[in-house]
Amino acid sequence: ETDYTPIVCFLALAVAIIPPIFVGEFGKWFHRALIFLVVSCPCALVISIPLSFFSGIGGASKAGILVKGSNYLELLGKAKIAVFDKTGTLTKGVFKVVETCADGISEDDLLELAAYGEYYSNHPIAASIKAAYKGTVQIDHLDGYEEISGMGIKVLKDGKEVLVGNKKLLDSRKISMAGAKQPSKVGTVLFVAENGAYKGCITIADEIKDGVKDAIASIKKCGIDNVVMLTGDKKEVADSVAKELGIDTVCAELMPGDKVDKVEQLLREKDEDSTLIFTGDGINDAPVLMRADVGIAMGAMGSDAAIEAADVVLMDDDPAKIALAMRIARRTLRIVYQNIVFALAIKFACLVLGALGLAHIGAAVFADVGVSVIAILNSTRAMRTKVK
């Protein structure tokens, strides 16, 4: 790659030597060559461009957004595809009982049976059942705890067999649910049976984070063309969340490795000039965060692996900060382009005028130092963060 400095020096030497060969007046052309050298000094560009990015990173930091390098700020400003993990990113990652459909018993009794069944489980769904049950589980009433892989749990409560699990568990025991009330809300459904008789079902759902819907709308206003959600949840649950939040594309029932494959596919399909950002918080998201053009991690509740793999960290886990980060990045890029165009335009004009003898040394100093000062002052504008 050709160096800027040797080219400028040879051009200045040419201005000092070649014209005097034909027209004489070596002193005048030597003076013009010196003006040429002063004007061509690249300080305005060399200082203002990195300073603009440093100012943008500083402005983002003041807003609780940590950007690990100026290149990521530039890539963030060119984003057109935003990919989100669901649990813990768009949702709180805390399951909650949202509906109970009892059959032949009260809702409290249904929750009691489920709480006894899930007592020994440490799964988040089991925790939500135990939290919804207001009573106290008497351990001496329990016996014969057994986890049935891929189906659910079987326990003996006061000598009666209690089953808590998915529909496959009840089907395997030929327990009929004919005529039973069906759940109306979307979520993970647990079915409960006692001594071979169906007792009802409980719907558990993950709550959507406050402000996420507005955050999705904001990033679309920032120029995102396609908002994608990746999740391991069932399709109907994922579709329900996507519809509520205004998400464009849903990829459900994914294994952790499948998320990387989906991001790889999106990267192949996107335009060369655009970039893809991925936002996640879990340890399983680390490979995807590293593969995306810009990986964004939740800093407060996110795993250490996700934070380490990410290029941008949101310190307060607020998804609305993604749109703010994009606005800061694009404003920073605008300031960089302003500095480049302004500096080159002034320098080119002064170079031509200097070579023709129409610009004196004062104009040359302005084209060097003056332009540098103006570009530096313009660069500091990137530190001022506008939240809205």
Name the residues annotated as catalytic. 85
Cα(371)–Cα(161) distance, rounded to whole angstroms?
83
Reading the block at residue 262, the tokens are 């989906």
Burial pattern 189-205, b for ≥16 Cβ within 10 A else e, equals bbbbbbeeebbbbbbbb
Helix intervals (H) in 64-188: 70-77, 107-117, 124-132, 167-172
Amino acid at 321: K
Write phi, then psi, for 278 (nearest 5 degrees): -125, 135
3-state secondary structure of 51: helix
Give CA 170 to chain center in angstroms: 41
Reading the block at residue 373, the tokens are 């000062």
Distance (Å) of CA 200 to CA 105, 106, 129, 178: 8, 10, 14, 11
Reading the block at residue 328, the tokens are 């800061």
